[in-house]
Amino acid sequence: MSTVELAWFKSSYSSDQGDSCIEVAPTPTTIHIRDSKDPSRPHLGLTPAAWATFIAHAAARAD
């Protein structure tokens, strides 16, 4: 699947001010992640389980 076919979105916490942010495009087997400032660069693909682990860790660090 090419990145053109993916439905990318940014967090609702992101602003339109050019802040550092990532975009994600989930599919049933892969969570695709890219830099919103340079979407032409290669993206990272994680399994849904790895993404869930990352999100849980990030949420725990935010407290």
Instruction: Supply the pLDDT for residue 19.
Output: 63
DSSP SS3 for 4? helix
Per residue of the chain (63 residues), what is the pLDDT tens digit?
Answer: 555 589 999 877 666 666 678 899 999 999 999 988 888 899 999 999 999 999 999 888 876
Task: Tell me whether strands 31-35 and 44-46 are parallel, antiparallel or unpaired.
Answer: antiparallel
Q: Give dist(CA 47, CA 59) in Å, integer.
A: 18
Task: Give, for 10, the enclosing helix (H) or strand (E).
Answer: strand 9-10
Residue labelled with tokens 């049933």: 28
Instruction: Supply the pLDDT for residue 21.
Output: 83
pTM of the model: 0.75
